[in-house]
Structure 1
Amino acid sequence: MGEVSADAVTLNLLREAMETVRSSPLGIINTPLIPWCQTTLPLSIDCNIFLKLENMQRTGSFKIRGVANQFTKRPKGLHFVTMSAGNYGKSFAYALKHYESKGKVVMPETAPVSRANLLQEDKMIFLHSYDDLDLIAGHASLGMEVLEVNSDPDVVVVCCGGGGLLAGVAAAIKLSGCAKTRIYGVEPEGACTMYKSFIEKKPVGMDAKSIASGLAPPFAGRLPYELCQRYVEAIVLVSDQEIKAAVSTLYKSGLVVEASGSAAFAAIVNNKIPELEGKNVVCIISGGNIGKDELADFPD
């Protein structure tokens, strides 16, 4: 697929993707959107916050949404390759069985795209883990689900790595008519490619390092950047220590959430999102793939 602009992302496209995701043989779950007040989580802000629990999603994260739309748009039986060592790779592998296709997860996200191009020449089709129109449209289904329960949120807070989820959710909400909704992306301080891209007004890369490895690709996606520029209020940053504390706090309240999945929560509890008092707020909990051995490294 050649380069496309943000103009290609329309409400009709996102509605079509929503139906594709819902009818996918991958069994995508319409995950719960629960009020914060129905948990034991601490909250010092006087507002109504809802948690979208993608840690309960098939394969343990939101990534399966975009993967479902990517695979549906391509014929069965092809040979795919991607570069991911995390949640996208897990969803990609899960989808291969259901779509009768072959594929390999051959590289971490830090590998250069040039190597992937060599694999394409070997008759393998490269699927990008965040900078892809079909993927972003699939991720937008998460935003559409939020609106089915909370039709006009004041604020939506979403984690951001390469930007595919943030771009999809933001586009879904804004194109659905929620003009006043403020949408914030959250990145780790040590892996803030979208934050830097906003400053430099173009997609940029960096030597990204964070405990939230799923939010630390080496560069911001081009299409996600364009969509975020159009629909996102701002990118805010959280420290690795704040992310660690968020994982621990969520776990103590019965929610198993990985470091990358807790970034939006960390931003809210550390007062990184402005003017939340009295507002209806949605916090995306994006993934829960964390083992017991990893949890042992987080503060009690």
Structure 2
Amino acid sequence: MAEVSADAVTLDLLREARETVMSSPLGVIKTPMIPWCQTSLPLNINCNIHIKLENMQTTGSFKIRGVANQFARRPAGGHFVTMSAGNYGKSFAYASKHYGSKGKVVMPETAPLSRSILIQSFEVEVERVPTANLMNVVNRCVQDNNMTFLHSYDDLDLIAGHASLGFEVLEVTPNPDVVVVCCGGGGLLAGVAAAIKLSGCDQTRIYGVEPEGACTMYKSFIEKTPVGMETRSVASGLAPPFAGRLPFELCQRYVEGIVLVSDEEIKAAVSALYRSGLVVEPSGAAAFAAIVNEKIQEMEGKTDVCILSGGNIGKDELANIPD
């Protein structure tokens, strides 16, 4: 597929994708948004925050939105390969089984084993490799086995599908002051930011949140070009080996900045959410961690949004989270 620029991401394109996503046979739902003040979650900032519960989405994360749009635009029964630490792989496997497609997920060895087992339960092949070798293995599958690569974050159809989440945020908070979103390769952040900004919310400040040990978008902002690094974090879903090219272009255009949180802050966030009755994985709790640790500027007295992007956490992961 030819490379596309950020100019290709228009409001009409995103609206069309939203219709595709919400009418998908994969069962994508409009997830709840609840006021933070109606929970028992801690907060030291005096502001009006809404929490978007994407951890309650079909397959347990936002990834199904992008996958629904990707698969709707490709022939059923194909032979696809992707790379994923878990959530995209789960949605990819779920869609592959529904559409009768063959699929293979190349996973980093650092991803929880429970994620691999879950993906295999959908009759999709999994190959675990060192993070640095992910793309090499994907390219081998494309060249030697004639498989089609579906990118887990750097893909126009995927990003357009993720934008449906941004439109849902605006239905509840039409002009938010601040929106905080987790960032791995940047697909979700790019889609949400594009939907909000192209809808006319010029004053909304959108922040991405990355782990300190997997800060590819943060470094890309500094270098002004997409970069890679050896990544490692308890939030494995936010630790791809490089930032996406199209997500980077969109984030440069629409995102205020990228902030970093430590693994310890992420673990504490998962624990706090769990104690309040919200099951959220480390990758899905990054935005929450940034807010409670006051990493986001000028939230005081404002209308803000925090996206909890996923809830796929296994017993093996929970066992490593402090009470």
Among candidates 264, 270, 276, match of residue 241 of structure 1? 264
**Correspondence for 1:265:** 288
Separation (CA, whole Å) in 2 of partners of 1:78 and 1:103: 8
Among candidates 97, 110, 113, match of residue 135 of structure 2? 113
Q: Does 1:131 align with 2:154?
A: yes
**Correspondence for 1:20:** 20
Q: Deviations over 1:52-81 (max 9, x none)?
A: 001101111100100000000101111111
Deviation at 1:44, TM superposition (A): 0.9
Q: Is this contact kept in 1: 2:43–2:292, CA < 8 A?
A: yes
Q: Does 1:196 align with 2:240?
A: no
Separation (CA, whole Å) in 1 of partners of 2:239 and 2:107: 14
Separation (CA, whole Å) in 2 of partners of 1:93 and 1:83: 12
**Correspondence for 2:120:** none
Q: Secondary structure at the match of 1:49?
A: strand
Residue 85 and residue 277 in structure 1: after superposition, are their counterparts in 2 closer, same or farther (change >3 A)? closer
**Correspondence for 1:214:** 237
Separation (CA, whole Å) in 2 of partners of 1:176 and 1:52: 19
Separation (CA, whole Å) in 2 of partners of 1:267 and 1:107: 27
Q: Which amino acid aligns with 1:200?
A: E
**Correspondence for 2:49:** 49
Q: Which amino acid aligns with 1:267?
A: A
Q: Is this contact kept in 1: 2:217–2:227, CA < 8 A?
A: yes
Among candidates 145, 150, 173, match of residue 168 of structure 2? 145
Q: Which amino acid aligns with 1:12?
A: D
Q: Is this contact kept in 2: 1:83–1:111, CA < 8 A?
A: no
Q: Is this contact kept in 2: 1:110–1:217, CA < 8 A?
A: no
Separation (CA, whole Å) in 2 of partners of 1:174 and 1:110: 34
Q: Which amino acid aligns with 1:133?
A: L
Residue 218 and residue 189 in structure 1: after superposition, are their counterparts in 2 closer, same or farther (change >3 A)? same
Q: Which amino acid aligns with 2:213?
A: G
Q: Does 1:274 align with 2:287?
A: no
**Correspondence for 2:101:** 101
Q: Deviations over 1:232-281 (max 9, x none)?
A: 00000001110010000000000000000000000000000001111000
Q: Secondary structure at the match of 2:90?
A: helix
Separation (CA, whole Å) in 1 of partners of 2:163 and 2:64: 12
Among candidates 143, 146, 170, match of residue 193 of structure 2? 170
Q: Does 1:181 align with 2:209?
A: no
Separation (CA, whole Å) in 2 of partners of 1:114 and 1:245: 35
- The runs of 5 or more residues in structure 1 that have no matched partner are none
Q: Which amino acid aligns with 1:298?
A: I
Taking every aligned residue pair, what percent have the same amino acid on both sides? Answer: 80
**Correspondence for 2:30:** 30
Q: Which amino acid aligns with 1:278?
A: G
Deviation at 1:123, TM superposition (A): 1.9
Q: Does 1:8 align with 2:8?
A: yes
Deviation at 1:230, TM superposition (A): 0.2
Residue 223 and residue 71 in structure 1: after superposition, are their counterparts in 2 closer, same or farther (change >3 A)? same
Q: Provide the alpha-carbon RMSD of the alignment.
A: 1.0
Q: Which amino acid aligns with 2:64?
A: I
**Correspondence for 1:81:** 81
Q: Is this contact kept in 1: 2:82–2:152, CA < 8 A?
A: yes
Deviates more, 1:240-249 or 1:117-126: 117-126
With the length of structure 1 as denominator, give the TM-score of the two structures: 0.98
Q: Is this contact kept in 1: 2:51–2:307, CA < 8 A?
A: yes
Deviation at 1:110, TM superposition (A): 4.2
Q: Deviations over 1:138-166 (max 9, x none)?
A: 01110011111111100000000000000
Deviation at 1:83, TM superposition (A): 1.4
Separation (CA, whole Å) in 1 of partners of 2:173 and 2:14: 18
**Correspondence for 2:275:** 252
**How many correspondences in the alignment?**
300
